[in-house]
Structure 1
Amino acid sequence: MTSKLEDIRNRPLLWMIAFVPLVLVVEKVAPSAHTTLFILAILAVIPLAALLGHATESIAAKMGDAIGGLLNATLGNLTELIIAIAALKAGEYVLVKASIAGAIVTNSLFMLGASFVLGGLRHHIQEYNRAGGKLYAGLLLMATIALLAPAAVADIDLSQGRQMAQSLSTGLAILLIVAYVLGLTFSLVTHKELFASGSHHEVDEISWPFGVAIGVLAAVTVLIALVSEIFVSSVQKAGETLGISPAFVGFVIVPLVGAAAEMAVAFSAARKNRLDMSVSIALGSASQIALFVAPVLVLLSYVIGPKPMDLQFWPGAVKMVLIAAVTSVFIINTGRSAWFVGVLLVFIYVIFAMTLYMVPPGTYAAAL
């Protein structure tokens, strides 16, 4: 117990755990304070995501490379998945789709770019293993092409297009999950020697005991689910008050909050000239969102959503994801990085964020 308390004292991010009981209390006392609940929920999710990431790393460290890598790949985006499931249940499909597209773009542009910047400011030129990055970038590009298909079918005819888009989305969801499993098999089993430095994320922190990590994982998952319910229920009213759209919240705020822990590890690794890890975290997380989280949400919508969800994104979102995927493929092929390369990636992300910030609340609701 002493080591756990010491760990929390040494990690300032975890001091924010105080926001978790605070947001739960405010939700009971003042359920109509939507803007306050929205802000508190964001602040509460950040330390929970950090705890979730550390618990996952601790469990993975005890289970060997293959199983540990699979666990990291499966649970790496659990925070975003839980938030998206809460939004799915509430029928906030604009928020769900924006969070999917935003997570892909945030990880492949902002997280990767910021890692290049932070690492490049300390090291003149950095090199990394291109194998892992090229695999993730290729999977991401394939998934992005799959996202283009439902939009093309939906334009055929207003009465039949939506049904065709829904059927196509379901088939694509299954195909993407199969591609995700095959990608894991390739990187963790048949060709794992090519990805030795990036197939799983190592951190310099002391791992928790297995039983403690499992308990923390279970407890934090429940807390994230509770906070996500509050976040989703308050997002619409808070967005109207603050003048921001659900598209901006899902595209920018949710991915940044949900990936806070992963970003901390990626940035730290880049500063230590361990860019293999940073690339693996950034592009691995982005490809996982596209190949696993998005199709799982489509299939879950048949069970928990008010109606089935398709993969038809608004045109701007698809273009942003496509640009992010193509840019990642182009950058990763070099195998080398300097700080200005990261600046360019971050600037592309900022352009997207600025564009969505100008979108009035409710603009995409009718279309989706």
Structure 2
Amino acid sequence: MVLNLKGLGKIEIGLLDYLLIFVPVAVYLELTHGSGTYIFAASAISIIPLAAIMGKATEHLTEKLGPGLGGFLNATFGNAAELIIAIIAIKEGMFSVVKASITGSIIGNILLVLGLSFLAGGLKQKSLKFNATAANLNSTMLILSTSGLVVPAVIHSLLKNQSITNAAIDGLNNTISLAIAIVLFTTYVFSLVFSLKSHKHLYGAADEEAEGHKGAEGWSTGKSLSVLLAATVGISFMSEFLVKSLESATKSLGMNEVFVGVIVVALVGNAAEHSTAIFMALKNKMDVSVSIAIGSSSQVAMFLAPIMVFLSYFIGPAPMDLSFTALETLSIVFSVLLVNFISADGQTHWMEGVQLLALYVILGIAYFFIY
């Protein structure tokens, strides 16, 4: 379906866009002080199409501005929904939810998204092949980035066994986390230079995919910016509704905040990106699918997590550290190890997708029952 809007031209309506009906539903429920559970559900569902629209606008804007600035925009807006949700949560001092959503995004991308991509693509093709060099580079970057999230947890555990006051431990955790956040963010900037400038030939498959879109009718810069701004504003309001109704919804549904952060919030924030990776796998474009899944996890650890630490010093009630719980730490380690084993040879099949999904379900069960 195509709408012709005055000043914005033609806008194609996809299946996800029909979920926009939940935006006014969420607004109505919020204004009428409706059930927290219903507000949470409506706002969560409404974020999915808004994130998809934001991704579409960013893609069209990238075509106009070139790969350099386009890469920065994709890095910024690719995880924009999660970023906005996390910002609202930080303002409310809900650091456990923020950390849980970071964990959920990492394991969700490399277990759920990659698992579904391998399963979907493998059911159509006996063997799926992708660029092993690019995949190994992404996997190595993933190990580096997640180590920055694991080290503070290990240090925190070691300090608790010594005769140090809790205040001193918290202060040291904040200092270490800030230093690690700076290192991760700096490394992320260098990785952008590597992938977009000096060694962009290693990501040729992604470039070919971009070339395939150039024949399509693109949006103007003004239209892209207008749609991007409108989607961002919409996500901001829906994210605020989501966070404020979180406590009420979790109590009503019998779920804990960590489970909601790891599973629900992460799924909502990445839904549009998830669907793209699976769709590419169905078309046997595994380089793009693997790049989206593994690259997004690295981006969360090296870009999103440090930004959250930096922002907490300005908008949070206290600085946020990168000390994750033992289960979150183990989840990240196991997930990264499994995906590295699977992606090392540059080919896969549907059974490896099942293995990734099995670990995701196992971790989901643990989060649901332990907290």
> Is TM-score (shorter-chain normalized) higher than 0.5?
yes
Structure 1 residue 39: Cα displacement: 0.6
Give the TM-score of the pair, scaled to structure 1. Answer: 0.93
Q: Contact conserved, 1:23 with 1:37, CA < 8 A, in 2?
A: yes
3-state DSSP of counterpart to 1:198: helix
The one-letter code sitting in structure 2 at the alignment partner of 1:318 is T
Structure 1 residue 61: Cα displacement: 1.7
Is 1:149 aligned to 2:151, yes or no? yes
Deviations 1:20-77 (A, max 9, x none): 121012101125x211101111111111111111111111122223332332122211
3-state DSSP of counterpart to 2:93: coil
Structure 1 residue 259: Cα displacement: 1.1
Q: Contact conserved, 2:81 with 2:235, CA < 8 A, in 1?
A: yes
The one-letter code sitting in structure 1 at the alignment partner of 2:154 is A
**Unmatched segments (≥5 aa) in structure 2:** none
Q: Contact conserved, 2:263 with 2:364, CA < 8 A, in 1?
A: yes
Q: Contact conserved, 2:205 with 2:287, CA < 8 A, in 1?
A: yes
Counterpart-to-counterpart distance in 2, 1:337 and 1:299: 38
Q: Contact conserved, 2:51 with 2:81, CA < 8 A, in 1?
A: yes
Counterpart-to-counterpart distance in 2, 1:158 and 1:340: 49
Give the TM-score of the pair, scaled to structure 2. Answer: 0.92
Q: How many residues are matched?
A: 357
3-state DSSP of counterpart to 1:71: helix
Is 1:195 aligned to 2:203, yes or no? yes
Is 1:48 aligned to 2:50, yes or no? yes
Q: Hey, what does 2:178 align to over in structure 1?
A: 170
Q: Contact conserved, 1:69 with 1:200, CA < 8 A, in 2?
A: no
**Unmatched segments (≥5 aa) in structure 1:** 361-368
**RMSD between aligned alpha carbons?**
1.7
Is 1:63 aligned to 2:68, yes or no? no
Q: Hey, what does 1:242 align to over in structure 2?
A: 253
Is 1:25 aligned to 2:36, yes or no? no
Structure 1 residue 170: Cα displacement: 0.3
My pick for the range that moved more, 158-167 or 224-233, is 158-167
Deviations 1:100-154 (A, max 9, x none): 0110000011101111111111111111112322222111111221222222222
Q: Hey, what does 2:114 align to over in structure 1?
A: 112
- The one of 288, 292, 295 aligned to 2:299: 288
Counterpart-to-counterpart distance in 1, 2:109 and 2:319: 27
The one-letter code sitting in structure 2 at the alignment partner of 1:309 is M
Structure 1 residue 15: Cα displacement: 0.5
Deviations 1:258-299 (A, max 9, x none): 111111111111111100110111111110000000010001
Is 1:335 aligned to 2:338, yes or no? no
Counterpart-to-counterpart distance in 2, 1:131 and 1:232: 40
Q: Contact conserved, 1:53 with 1:76, CA < 8 A, in 2?
A: yes
- The one of 356, 362, 370 aligned to 1:345: 356
Counterpart-to-counterpart distance in 2, 1:293 and 1:142: 15
- The change in CA–CA distance for 1:290 and 1:94 in structure 2 (over 3 A counts) is same
Structure 1 residue 208: Cα displacement: 2.4
Q: Hey, what does 1:210 align to over in structure 2?
A: 221
- The change in CA–CA distance for 1:62 and 1:338 in structure 2 (over 3 A counts) is same
Counterpart-to-counterpart distance in 1, 2:270 and 2:217: 21
Percentage of matched positions with identical amino acids:
38
Q: Hey, what does 1:182 align to over in structure 2?
A: 190
The one-letter code sitting in structure 2 at the alignment partner of 1:267 is I
Counterpart-to-counterpart distance in 2, 1:303 and 1:272: 45
- The change in CA–CA distance for 1:283 and 1:340 in structure 2 (over 3 A counts) is same
Q: Contact conserved, 2:153 with 2:329, CA < 8 A, in 1?
A: no
Counterpart-to-counterpart distance in 2, 1:263 and 1:167: 34
Q: Contact conserved, 2:100 with 2:262, CA < 8 A, in 1?
A: yes
Alignment of 1:217-228 (within 5 A): 217-228=228-239
The one-letter code sitting in structure 1 at the alignment partner of 2:41 is I
Counterpart-to-counterpart distance in 2, 1:165 and 1:199: 41
Counterpart-to-counterpart distance in 2, 1:5 and 1:347: 43
Counterpart-to-counterpart distance in 1, 2:329 and 2:91: 24
Q: Contact conserved, 2:128 with 2:284, CA < 8 A, in 1?
A: yes
